[in-house]
Amino acid sequence: MRGPLGREQALEMAFAHALVRQANAGEFDEVLRFYQPLASAVVFSRRDTNAPRFAQAVATAKRSGFQVAIRPAGGRAVAYTTEALVIDHVRHEPRAVTGQQPRFEHFAALYAGTLKGLGIPAAVGAVPGEYCPGAYSVNVRGRKKVVGTAQRVLRDAWLFSTLIVLGDENRLQPVLRDVYDMLDQPFDGRSVGSLGAEVAGLQASDLIDALVQSWTGGRTESFNHETTLNLAHELLPGHVVTPESRRAAQ
């Protein structure tokens, strides 16, 4: 699948959730979805909703012109603009939890290798002060995070979500600084990088084509997502930030 559903970022989160639910039920074997968001957003984790100042973090994001939503996967808040590429990779896999660590290792190496092929000096590893910190972030020169990944694992399926920052790091730095301050989490704005700062003129389509080639050898089939979209609308309330979000997470 290529392309966004629309401007509502909570629906994009619910759609990813719906995909992994369908995969867990055995409705399909594997789906790859790529899209550039049509709106800027700060998407929070369930853990974030338990922060004492979560409501203030939400208000801060909104004042900065960012939508807010709750992620189906991931440990801490992330932010993006339309200058980003989101990849949701979903697969039906019995006893999926057993492969969680190898998946992080595999995809981190794959993304770093793909970026190196595009002339970007990428490496795997956390950057000091990065948002949503993790050992399998992809960075540039060990100083700036450009790719973040997260997983949601069900009994017989997994969702591996990836956020690649293409640009607008100057917009992301202040909103993440303020949101992380409200969440009482460490953050260094200098850790936010982008691929556009490394390779001028890099297009999302260039990256998508390279990744599809790596994963599938260029062979793909279309995916009818009407049933998934219907399920996503059912799951949508769980991804919309409301005064009840914190209570639901507890």
> Is residue 134 one of the residues assigned to a domain?
yes
> Is residue 108 one of the residues assigned to a domain?
yes
Name residue, tokens 């002339």.
119
Cα 10 to Cα 68, 75, 97, 238: the distances in Å are 7, 17, 26, 9
Section 174-203 average pLDDT: 95
pLDDT of residue 17: 98
> Is residue 4 one of the residues assigned to a domain?
no
pLDDT of residue 246: 56
Section 70-92 average pLDDT: 95
Q: What are phi and psi of 152, to 5 degrees?
A: -125, 125
Q: Which residues contact 85 (CB under 8 A, 6 or more apart)?
A: 34, 35, 36, 163, 164, 166, 204, 207, 208
63 is in which domain, residue-wise? 9-249
> Is residue 1 one of the residues assigned to a domain?
no
**How do residues 139-157 score in pLDDT, each as one tens digit?**
999 999 999 999 999 999 9
Query: Helix or strand or coil: residue 10?
Result: helix
> Is residue 137 one of the residues assigned to a domain?
yes
- Please, which residues bridge with residue 122 across strands? 140
**How do residues 35-75 score in pLDDT, each as one tens digit?**
999 999 999 999 999 999 999 999 999 999 999 999 998 78
CATH of the domain at 83: 3.30.930.10
> Is residue 159 one of the residues assigned to a domain?
yes
pLDDT at position 211 over 50: yes
> Is residue 2 one of the residues assigned to a domain?
no
> Is residue 81 one of the residues assigned to a domain?
yes
Query: pTM for the whole thing?
Result: 0.94
Tokens standing for residue 49: 């909703």
Cα 202 to Cα 3, 80, 171, 207, 239: the distances in Å are 18, 17, 19, 8, 31
DSSP 31-94: EEEEE--SS-EEEE-TTGGGSTTHHHHHHHHHHTT-EEEE-SS-SS-EEE-SSEEEEEEEEE-T
User: Number of structural domains, the chain?
Assistant: 1
pLDDT at position 250 over 60: no
- 237 falls in which pLDDT band (50, 70, 90)? very high
pLDDT of residue 70: 97
